[in-house]
Amino acid sequence: MNYLLFFLLVTVTICQDEYGCEDDCECSDILDFFWMDRESILYTEEAGCVRNITCVNTGQTFVQFFYNESEIARPVDSNKDYGHAMSLNPEALTSDINIFEFFGMVCENKEWYITKYPRGILYQIATGEEIVIGANGVFDGKKSKIHDYWWLIV
Ligand SMILES: *[C@@H]1O[C@H](CO)[C@@H](O)[C@H](O)[C@H]1NC(C)=O
Ligand SMILES: *[C@@H]1O[C@H](CO)[C@@H](O)[C@H](O)[C@H]1NC(C)=O
Protein backbone atom coordinates (compact mmCIF):
# COMPACT_ATOMS: atom_id res chain seq x y z
CA MET A 1 0.00 0.00 0.00
CA ASN A 2 0.99 3.52 -0.72
CA TYR A 3 2.47 4.96 2.51
CA LEU A 4 0.63 8.24 2.19
CA LEU A 5 -2.70 6.47 1.87
CA PHE A 6 -1.84 4.25 4.84
CA PHE A 7 -0.92 7.29 6.91
CA LEU A 8 -4.18 9.01 6.01
CA LEU A 9 -6.26 5.98 6.90
CA VAL A 10 -4.57 5.61 10.27
CA THR A 11 -5.01 9.30 10.98
CA VAL A 12 -8.68 9.28 10.09
CA THR A 13 -9.30 6.20 12.22
CA ILE A 14 -7.56 7.61 15.28
CA CYS A 15 -9.35 10.86 14.75
CA GLN A 16 -12.78 9.24 14.75
CA ASP A 17 -12.15 6.80 17.54
CA GLU A 18 -10.35 8.82 20.12
CA TYR A 19 -10.54 12.50 19.59
CA GLY A 20 -13.66 13.13 17.58
CA CYS A 21 -11.51 15.92 16.02
CA GLU A 22 -14.29 18.44 16.53
CA ASP A 23 -17.11 18.73 18.98
CA ASP A 24 -19.54 16.28 17.42
CA CYS A 25 -22.15 16.49 20.15
CA GLU A 26 -25.36 17.86 18.67
CA CYS A 27 -26.98 18.67 22.02
CA SER A 28 -27.05 22.06 23.70
CA ASP A 29 -24.73 23.08 26.53
CA ILE A 30 -25.96 20.89 29.37
CA LEU A 31 -24.89 23.45 31.96
CA ASP A 32 -27.67 25.72 30.70
CA PHE A 33 -30.05 23.54 32.71
CA PHE A 34 -28.29 24.30 35.95
CA TRP A 35 -29.56 26.78 38.45
CA MET A 36 -26.39 26.55 40.46
CA ASP A 37 -23.18 28.44 40.30
CA ARG A 38 -20.93 27.03 37.59
CA GLU A 39 -17.90 27.60 39.81
CA SER A 40 -19.08 24.90 42.21
CA ILE A 41 -19.13 22.23 39.47
CA LEU A 42 -16.16 20.27 38.16
CA TYR A 43 -17.07 19.95 34.51
CA THR A 44 -15.25 18.20 31.67
CA GLU A 45 -16.30 17.34 28.14
CA GLU A 46 -15.29 13.94 26.88
CA ALA A 47 -15.71 12.24 23.49
CA GLY A 48 -19.00 12.88 21.74
CA CYS A 49 -21.67 13.83 24.23
CA VAL A 50 -20.05 12.30 27.30
CA ARG A 51 -19.66 14.75 30.14
CA ASN A 52 -18.37 14.62 33.67
CA ILE A 53 -20.38 16.88 35.95
CA THR A 54 -19.07 16.43 39.44
CA CYS A 55 -20.22 18.30 42.51
CA VAL A 56 -20.86 17.72 46.19
CA ASN A 57 -24.06 15.80 46.77
CA THR A 58 -26.04 17.47 49.50
CA GLY A 59 -29.06 15.45 48.45
CA GLN A 60 -30.68 18.59 47.07
CA THR A 61 -29.81 17.96 43.45
CA PHE A 62 -32.61 16.66 41.29
CA VAL A 63 -33.73 16.57 37.68
CA GLN A 64 -37.20 17.79 36.90
CA PHE A 65 -39.13 16.12 34.08
CA PHE A 66 -42.65 16.20 32.68
CA TYR A 67 -44.51 12.90 32.36
CA ASN A 68 -45.57 13.86 28.81
CA GLU A 69 -41.85 13.90 27.93
CA SER A 70 -41.00 10.71 29.79
CA GLU A 71 -41.43 6.96 29.47
CA ILE A 72 -42.45 6.96 33.14
CA ALA A 73 -46.21 7.04 33.52
CA ARG A 74 -47.72 9.74 35.70
CA PRO A 75 -48.64 8.19 39.07
CA VAL A 76 -52.47 8.28 39.33
CA ASP A 77 -52.42 10.26 42.59
CA SER A 78 -49.91 12.88 41.40
CA ASN A 79 -51.38 16.38 41.44
CA LYS A 80 -48.63 17.81 39.21
CA ASP A 81 -47.66 17.05 35.61
CA TYR A 82 -44.00 16.73 36.59
CA GLY A 83 -41.82 14.68 38.87
CA HIS A 84 -38.26 14.86 40.19
CA ALA A 85 -35.50 12.29 39.80
CA MET A 86 -33.84 12.36 43.21
CA SER A 87 -30.25 12.14 44.39
CA LEU A 88 -30.73 11.89 48.14
CA ASN A 89 -28.68 9.22 49.80
CA PRO A 90 -28.95 9.40 53.60
CA GLU A 91 -25.66 7.53 54.06
CA ALA A 92 -23.55 9.67 51.79
CA LEU A 93 -24.82 13.20 52.02
CA THR A 94 -21.61 15.03 51.32
CA SER A 95 -19.80 12.75 48.90
CA ASP A 96 -18.98 13.92 45.38
CA ILE A 97 -21.22 12.68 42.63
CA ASN A 98 -20.87 12.71 38.88
CA ILE A 99 -24.44 13.65 38.06
CA PHE A 100 -24.02 12.78 34.40
CA GLU A 101 -23.25 9.18 35.27
CA PHE A 102 -25.58 9.03 38.27
CA PHE A 103 -28.69 9.91 36.24
CA GLY A 104 -27.45 8.13 33.07
CA MET A 105 -27.60 11.29 30.94
CA VAL A 106 -27.62 10.81 27.16
CA CYS A 107 -28.01 13.02 24.11
CA GLU A 108 -30.50 11.84 21.49
CA ASN A 109 -31.88 13.81 18.55
CA LYS A 110 -30.47 17.03 19.99
CA GLU A 111 -32.19 16.57 23.34
CA TRP A 112 -30.76 15.60 26.71
CA TYR A 113 -32.40 12.74 28.60
CA ILE A 114 -31.88 10.91 31.86
CA THR A 115 -32.13 7.12 31.88
CA LYS A 116 -31.32 6.24 35.50
CA TYR A 117 -33.20 6.88 38.73
CA PRO A 118 -30.99 5.41 41.47
CA ARG A 119 -32.98 7.13 44.27
CA GLY A 120 -36.35 6.98 42.55
CA ILE A 121 -38.72 9.79 41.70
CA LEU A 122 -40.48 12.23 44.00
CA TYR A 123 -43.96 13.53 43.31
CA GLN A 124 -46.63 15.43 45.16
CA ILE A 125 -50.20 14.38 45.96
CA ALA A 126 -53.24 16.60 46.56
CA THR A 127 -52.56 16.99 50.31
CA GLY A 128 -49.11 18.39 49.53
CA GLU A 129 -47.42 15.26 50.80
CA GLU A 130 -44.37 14.17 48.83
CA ILE A 131 -43.95 10.54 47.85
CA VAL A 132 -40.87 8.74 46.56
CA ILE A 133 -41.27 5.64 44.40
CA GLY A 134 -38.89 3.47 42.42
CA ALA A 135 -35.88 3.89 44.74
CA ASN A 136 -35.00 0.27 43.95
CA GLY A 137 -34.04 1.29 40.40
CA VAL A 138 -37.23 -0.03 38.81
CA PHE A 139 -37.38 2.99 36.46
CA ASP A 140 -33.83 2.53 35.15
CA GLY A 141 -33.77 2.41 31.34
CA LYS A 142 -36.77 4.70 30.92
CA LYS A 143 -36.02 7.96 29.17
CA SER A 144 -37.13 11.35 30.48
CA LYS A 145 -36.31 14.61 28.80
CA ILE A 146 -34.35 16.91 31.10
CA HIS A 147 -36.40 19.95 31.86
CA ASP A 148 -34.89 21.91 34.69
CA TYR A 149 -31.99 20.95 36.77
CA TRP A 150 -31.72 22.37 40.21
CA TRP A 151 -29.21 22.54 42.94
CA LEU A 152 -30.39 24.05 46.17
CA ILE A 153 -28.04 24.25 49.08
CA VAL A 154 -29.65 23.96 52.50
C1 LIG B 1 -14.99 13.06 36.98
O2 LIG B 1 -14.40 14.23 37.52
C3 LIG B 1 -13.99 14.08 38.87
C4 LIG B 1 -13.52 15.44 39.36
O5 LIG B 1 -12.58 16.01 38.50
C6 LIG B 1 -12.93 12.98 38.97
O7 LIG B 1 -12.55 12.82 40.32
C8 LIG B 1 -13.53 11.67 38.44
O9 LIG B 1 -12.56 10.66 38.45
C10 LIG B 1 -14.06 11.85 37.02
N11 LIG B 1 -14.78 10.65 36.64
C12 LIG B 1 -14.62 10.06 35.46
C13 LIG B 1 -15.45 8.84 35.19
O14 LIG B 1 -13.83 10.48 34.63
C1 LIG C 1 -45.37 18.76 28.34
O2 LIG C 1 -46.02 19.55 29.30
C3 LIG C 1 -45.35 20.77 29.61
C4 LIG C 1 -46.09 21.45 30.75
O5 LIG C 1 -47.44 21.54 30.51
C6 LIG C 1 -45.23 21.64 28.39
O7 LIG C 1 -44.50 22.83 28.70
C8 LIG C 1 -44.50 20.85 27.31
O9 LIG C 1 -44.44 21.61 26.12
C10 LIG C 1 -45.19 19.52 27.04
N11 LIG C 1 -44.38 18.74 26.12
C12 LIG C 1 -44.90 18.09 25.06
C13 LIG C 1 -43.95 17.31 24.25
O14 LIG C 1 -46.08 18.14 24.80
CB of 54 closer than 6 angstroms to any ligand 1 atom: yes
Structural domain includes residue 6: no
Of 94-103, 106-115, 135-144, the least confident = 94-103
Among 4-18, 36-50, 61-75, 121-135, the minimum mean pLDDT is found in: 4-18
Q: Which pTM does this prediction carry?
A: 0.82
The residue segments making up the domain with residue 109 are 29-145
Whether 150 is covered by a domain: the verdict is: no
Examine residue 88 and state whether it is found in any structural domain, yes or no.
yes
- 10-35: burial string, b at 16+ Cβ within 10 Å, e else: eeeeeeeeeeeeeeebebeebeebbe
Burial of 128 (C-beta count, 10 Å sphere; 0-12/13-18/19+): exposed
Q: Note whether residue 13 is domain-resident.
A: no
Summarize pLDDT for 67-105 with one digit per residue, the tens: 999 999 999 999 999 999 988 765 556 678 899 999 999
One-letter amino acid for residue 154 of the chain: V
Find out whether the beta carbon of 66 lies less than 6 Å from any atom of ligand 2.
Answer: yes
More confident residue, 153 or 148: 148
Q: Exposure pattern of 102-121 as b/e (b: 16+ CB <10 Å)?
A: bbbbbbeeeebbbbbbbbbb
Spatial distance between the Cα atoms of 115 and 16, rounded to a whole number of angstroms: 26
Task: Tell me the C-alpha distance between 123 and 130, whole Å.
Answer: 6
In a 13 Å sphere around the CA of 37, the CA atoms on its Cβ side amount to: 4
- Residue 53 covered by a domain: yes
Number of domains forming the structure of the chain:
1
Residue 108 lies inside a defined structural domain of this protein: yes
Mean pLDDT of 101-110: 95
Given a cut of 70, whether residue 23 has pLDDT beyond it is no
Mutate to test the pocket of ligand 2, among 69, 109, 113, 147 (most ligand atoms within 8 A of CB): 69
107 belongs to a structural domain: yes
Residue 67: CB atoms within 10 A of its CB come to 18
Residue that wins the pLDDT comparison between 94 and 139: 139
pLDDT over threshold 80, residue 11: no
Q: Using CA atoms, how far apart are residues 78 and 13, in angstroms rounded to an integer?
A: 50
Identify the pLDDT of residue 49.
96
**Which pLDDT tens digit goes with each residue over 55-65?**
877 777 889 99
In a domain, 110, yes or no: yes
Tell me how far apart the alpha carbons of residues 102 and 117 are, in angstroms, rounded to a whole number. 8
Q: Given this model, what pLDDT does residue 148 score?
A: 76
Q: Which of 28-37, 76-85, 87-96, 123-132 is least confident? A: 87-96
Which tops the pLDDT comparison, 27 or 23?
27
